[in-house]
Amino acid sequence: MSILGSLGRNQREAIGLLQIGTFLEYFDLMLFVHMAVLLNEIFFPKTDPHTAALVTAFAFCSTYVLRPFGALLFGWIGDNIGRKSTVIITTMMMSISCIIMANLPTYAEVGIVATWIVTVCRIVQGLSSMGEIIGAQIYVSEITKPPVGYAAVSFVSLASAFGGMAALGIAALTTTHGFNWRVAFWIGAGIAVVGSIARTRLRETPEFLNKKSRAKDSATYLREKTPFSNLLGYFLIQCGWPLSFYLAYFYFNSILKQKFGYSAQDIILHNFGLTAVLILQGIALAIMSYYINPLKILKIKGYLFLILMASIPVWVSMSTGPSSIFLLQVLILVFSLNDFPAQYIFIKSLSIHRRFTASSLIYASSRASTYIFTSFGVVYLTECFGHWGLLVITIPLCVLFLMSIRHFEKLEGLRPDKSLRNKDDVLHSQAA
């Protein structure tokens, strides 16, 4: 990509290795997610539709619920030992969990034991993926400068979507051509090992090494903290993606099954198309971030998402075919609430001393709380109010998202050449 042409050889190599690793990590993570329509029947007991919905929500949330504890662990490693060590450890954790799942007996063979083991593996995968994506984003943000840094971090993050799409492809083969699902997890384990070995070529970021060096000589430097308003704003922005992801990939599955007769195979292929749209959108936004302040992009998306959410109940009630639902899901992904492509700005707003810990905790807690609140809340709200129940969750989150964007707009001044990229340099010079 010519946008990254101004980077040095070592920078481009590091970005390439992180992209590959993130792709492999999210291939493994999303393999179970996109095969859940099949694997939930294999590893979970069969129950009535209501209980089945709750079991599905439980399996979905198990990936995210303990992430805050993982954030403390990986945050400490990332802030004290290094960014490089963290991204190597996470890929090895993913490999081990995939090996276990590839050999795990089914519920029919060992009963509830299978359910608990697969849940623990999902938790490990959730912890691993969290440390992975945060480590990669921080690493790239610390070796680049805006505006190329905006695009560079975005392209690394985009690799997770490519991993999800590859997982969907394997899921499609499994359900439509009789491909053994256990082989898919063996493939996931193998590529995670490859990713770990490849990342040993990475060098620690100069910004992190400088931080460790200065910390030994300056007590004032160590006491620098991130304003609470930055932490809260970043948290609220991160809460948007769990909502968007759940609505796009899970909420409409029951409608496609019950109203339009979709099978598990049909849903997987349907979601494959959605992921292709997500990747195209991500590429477009990453390129745009080089020329347009990313916060402006997020602001426009936020307002369009708000309008879209208000129209969902009417849209669904008027839908006469799966193509109408697909279009709605596409729009949810295109205008989704998330931090992409402005991750660089949010990461740089955090003090380098606890940058990994803070960003990991925000990432983990926002997803754990919002996924639980969204997936379980939607089950009960839609039972009581139909599709109108979605507005109870979506409208407040949209408003909070836009308020948080406004906070960071004030910090940035909406001028790319006055970015927070120089914040650490200013603090260093003051401490000196």
Per the structure, the count of domains in the chain is: 1
What is residue 146's three-state secondary structure? coil
* pLDDT at site 112: 79
One-letter amino acid for residue 173 of the chain: L
Q: What is the pLDDT along the chain (432 residues), one digit of tens a residue?
A: 467 667 888 888 888 888 887 887 788 777 777 676 667 677 776 665 655 555 656 655 656 667 778 888 888 999 888 888 888 888 788 878 888 888 888 878 888 788 788 878 877 887 777 788 888 999 999 999 999 999 999 998 899 888 888 887 877 777 677 667 788 778 777 777 777 777 777 888 888 888 777 766 655 555 578 899 999 999 999 999 988 988 898 888 888 888 888 887 788 788 888 888 989 999 999 999 999 999 999 999 999 999 999 999 999 888 888 999 999 999 999 999 999 999 999 999 998 888 999 999 998 888 878 877 777 787 788 888 888 988 998 999 999 999 999 999 999 875 444 444 444 443 333 333
Give the whole-angstrom CA distance, residue 263 versus residue 275. Answer: 18
Task: Output the DSSP codes for 171-199.
Answer: HHHHHHS---HHHHHHHHHHHHHHHHHHG
Give the whole-angstrom CA distance, residue 118 versus residue 44. Answer: 9
One-letter amino acid for residue 211 of the chain: K
* Structural domain span for residue 79: 2-431
One-letter amino acid for residue 41 of the chain: E
CATH number for the domain spanning 319: value is: 1.20.1250.20
* pLDDT at site 226: 86
Closest CA to 218 of 6, 428, 51: 428
Give the whole-angstrom CA distance, residue 243 versus residue 302. Answer: 13
Give the whole-angstrom CA distance, residue 424 versus residue 322. Answer: 50
* Number of neighbouring beta carbons within 10 Å of residue 411: 19
pTM listed for this prediction: 0.80
- The per-residue b/e assignment along 54-74, b for 16 or more CB within 10 angstroms, e otherwise, is ebbbbbbbbbbbbbbebbeeb
Give the whole-angstrom CA distance, residue 431 versus residue 224. Answer: 10
Give the whole-angstrom CA distance, residue 418 versus residue 181. Answer: 50
Task: Output the DSSP codes for 220-260.
Answer: HHHT----HHHHHHHHHHHTHHHHHHHIIIIITHHHHHHTT
Question: The tokens of 246 are what?
Answer: 């759940």
Nearest 10 degrees: Cα torsion 166, 168, 172, 178: 70
Question: The tokens of 423 are what?
Answer: 């914040």
